[in-house]
Chain A
Amino acid sequence: GENVEQHPSTLSVQEGDSAVIKCTYSDSASNYFPWYKQELGKGPQLIIDIRSNVGEKKDQRIAVTLNKTAKHFSLHITETQPEDSAVYFCAASINTGFQKLVFGTGTRLLVSP
């Protein structure tokens, strides 16, 4: 069925440490995987995405990896800063005659100075 599992639900790190958030999807036909960051009082904003023909994508301190065989994808944030504190959502595309994104339940990341 349509399902994206996201772990952990909360993550606390010290400034400068790395943070990793993992997601698992169920639809083997999924081929687009965006990550969104939601700050307090704001809507989610796209921070990085990856398509199924790519195994890894990097943008400065943020990277996403995809393992299509295992149906896993992960967000990696290096050298975390307090402004990285937010809720992060993963999503996976599905197409059951209708195209949409299925979202994970979110990870609350807290970066302590």
Chain B
Amino acid sequence: ETGVTQTPRHLVMGMTNKKSLKCEQHLGHNAMYWYKQSAKKPLELMFVYSLEERVENNSVPSRFSPECPNSSHLFLHLHTLQPEDSALYLCASSQDWGFRETQYFGPGTRLLVL
């Protein structure tokens, strides 16, 4: 495996629920990422954290709220989502932040919003 784990692997939630996705990396990396993967669309970068500081919020709606309590853990808090938010949410990490750094992806959380 890649050294990046994500839980839960599958999640079904109603539009009024609040849930959280968790990512943990065991690689000693300094940068972590959240991506959204929808069918027939390119991977969309949502958030980047470098040394626990948010580097970029890529125009993501406020119903998605990231949290990075330390360099090994990354959360994505979800509230009042819409059906179009249903997708595979991927976490990744890299040694440092930068596009030349190899990103290691977790298996993803498959989210269904009803």
Question: Which residues of A pack against B, CB within 8 Å?
Answer: 4, 32, 34, 36, 41-46, 49, 51, 89, 93-95, 98-106
Contacts and interface: CB of A to CB of B under 8 A. Distances in A.
A101 B99 contact: yes
A98 B55 contact: yes
Contacts of A101: 45, 99, 103
Shortest 6 CB-CB contacts between residues of A and residues of B? A43-B105, A93-B99, A103-B42, A103-B43, A99-B99, A44-B105
A36 B103 CA distance: 10
A32 B103 CA distance: 13
25 contacts: A32-B99, A32-B100, A34-B102, A36-B105, A42-B108, A43-B90, A43-B92, A43-B105, A44-B90, A45-B2, A45-B104, A45-B105, A46-B102, A46-B103, A46-B104, A51-B100, A89-B42, A89-B43, A93-B99, A98-B56, A99-B98, A100-B45, A102-B42, A103-B42, A103-B43
A41 B40 CA distance: 17
Contacts of A106: 42
B59 to A, nearest CB: 11
A16 to B, nearest CB: 29
